Amino acid sequence: MNSKITYSEHELVTSLQQRNEKAFGYLYDNYSGALYGIVNSIVTDKEIANDVLQNVFVNIWRKIESYDPAKGRLFTWMLNIARNAAIDEVRSKGFRDSQKNQSLSENVDTGAVTGPAVDDVGLRKVLTRLKGELRILVDLSYFQGFTHEEISKALNIPLGTVKTRIRSALIQLRTMIQ
Amino acid sequence: MNTQEYISSGIVESYVLGLASAEERREFESMCLQYPEVLQARVEFEVAMEKQALNNALAPDPGLKNKIFEQIRQSGNQLSGNSAPVKYLNWLKYAAAACFILLAGSLYWNISLYNKNKKLKVDYTNTVAKLDEIENEIQLITNNPNVKMASMKGLDPSPQSYATVYWDTTSHDVYLMLNNLPKPPSDRQYQLWALMDGKPIDVGLIDNDYFIKETRLLVKAKNVQNAQAFAITLEKKDRPDVSIPQGTMYVLGNL
């Protein structure tokens, strides 16, 4: 990895699908920090976040065959693997036992919707700039992985309204990160 | 459908961030194939997300990369990353080696025990035979009312010495029990005498082996027709006439 090889996305994907360890090393060197940032915005415990990231990269290595470039960029695919792995960890029994989890409705009632992660990391930092209700919706859906239906029931808002509000929150997020 | 309206509906972000429903995803994917501007909007947001994530990167544990490589190498391309079979084989290997060593050790132990046992059996048989012989002799003497006993006490050269003579008055057999006599020098030899009317009668030279090996307590001596007392003297070895005592008397006892 010392020699400055750069891969085009197509080359990188092809090399990974051929089980090229050098390409995998390149992938880790260039993206582990970004993916760790995402994992860390959902799982704040450093040790657990590292375990999650390890599983994320092992899964990337194993599932690279199923990556379809027509459906999105490689990073988008990896980002979603990382986010799902982190949410699965937070929702796992072991994590809940250690974190004294609150149910969704309890979260909303007490207004403690920021979840387990801190607000000054990555996307969450952007999130703080959203106004109240939109921030809650993005947090619940993106960072905590609740479905629109679950949010609709918990907040007693019609499903269509949840959908449109999340969409408008995401549009605001887009302008903030671009 | 107005593609610009579709693009700005939030579906792009929803799709890229993984929040779209299955139906929304299918629709969006077909829109991307149909309308290049939809695809372009998707790629633009993806690049923006990637940049944002790279700008907010955090360093994981320095050792994590090696752990990941270890894990992918261990499990190869298989879906199961379980390394248990390898560990199990290693365990089996060591267990087999340990069993072999134990078996070899046990075999050696058994063979040496078998040999030892065989030798002990022979020794035991010999000892029992010897003991039987001695017991027979003793019984012959002690249970026989015709046998007279002479306890010979130590004299000046060795006051603590002590020996016993059993004399069968009918068969005239003489048995000597060497209870306690000092070991003779190699050029000397003990000799047993019967005393009759003050005259010594030779009853036999006592082999020095009895004192070296101590294999026998009871020694059969020559027959003697008549005796009033018995004595043992220490004589020079290989003297020409053994019928006359010349050495020092060690023990003496009357019948």
pLDDT per position as a tens digit, A64-105? 999 999 999 999 999 999 999 999 998 886 666 665 544 555
Claim to verify: residue B84 and residue B157 sit in the same structural domain:
no
CA distance A41 to A48: 12
Residue among A28, A40, A76 whose CB faces B58 most closely? A40
pLDDT band, residue A6 (cuts 50/70/90)? confident
Question: Which residues of B have a CB under 8 Å from any CB of A?
Answer: 8-14, 16-19, 21, 29, 32-33, 42-43, 45-54, 56-61, 64-65, 67-69, 71-72, 77, 79, 81
Output the DSSP codes for A127-140: HTTS-HHHHHHHII
Nearest Cα of chain A lies from the Cα of B31 at a distance, in angstroms, of: 11
Q: Is residue B173 part of a domain?
A: yes
Level-2 CATH architecture, domain A102-177: Orthogonal Bundle (1.10)
Claim to verify: residue B171 and residue B237 sit in the same structural domain:
yes
Look at strands B162-168 and B174-180 and give their pairing: antiparallel
CA distance B46 to B48: 5
Q: Which of A73, A148, A149 to mutate to test the interface with B (most CBs of B within 10 A)?
A: A73
Every domain of chain A and the residues it spans = 9-97, 102-177
Claim to verify: residue B16 and residue B40 sit in the same structural domain:
yes
Counting Cβ atoms within 10 Å, is residue A58 exposed (0-12), middle (13-18) or buried (19+)? middle
Overall fold of domain A9-97: Rna Polymerase Sigma Factor; Chain: A (1.10.1740)
Q: Is residue B70 part of a domain?
A: no
Output the DSSP codes for A20-31: -HHHHHHHHHHH
Q: Which of B23, B52, B80 to mutate to test the interface with A (most CBs of A within 10 A)?
A: B52
Per the structure, the complete domain to which residue B121 belongs is given by 78-143
Among all chains, which residue has been given the structure tokens 């019609």? A158
CA distance A95 to A89: 6
CA distance A82 to B182: 100
> What is the token pair recorded at A171?
């549009």
Q: What percent of chain B has pLDDT over 90?
A: 38
Claim to verify: residue B129 and residue B172 sit in the same structural domain:
no
Average pLDDT, chain A: 83
Claim to verify: residue B48 and residue B136 sit in the same structural domain:
no
Q: Is residue B73 part of a domain?
A: no
Q: Which residues pair with B251 in a beta bridge?
A: B154, B232
Domain count, chain B: 3
CB-CB under 8 Å, A167 with B11:
yes
Claim to verify: residue B171 and residue B230 sit in the same structural domain:
yes
pLDDT per position as a tens digit, A117-130? 455 567 777 777 88
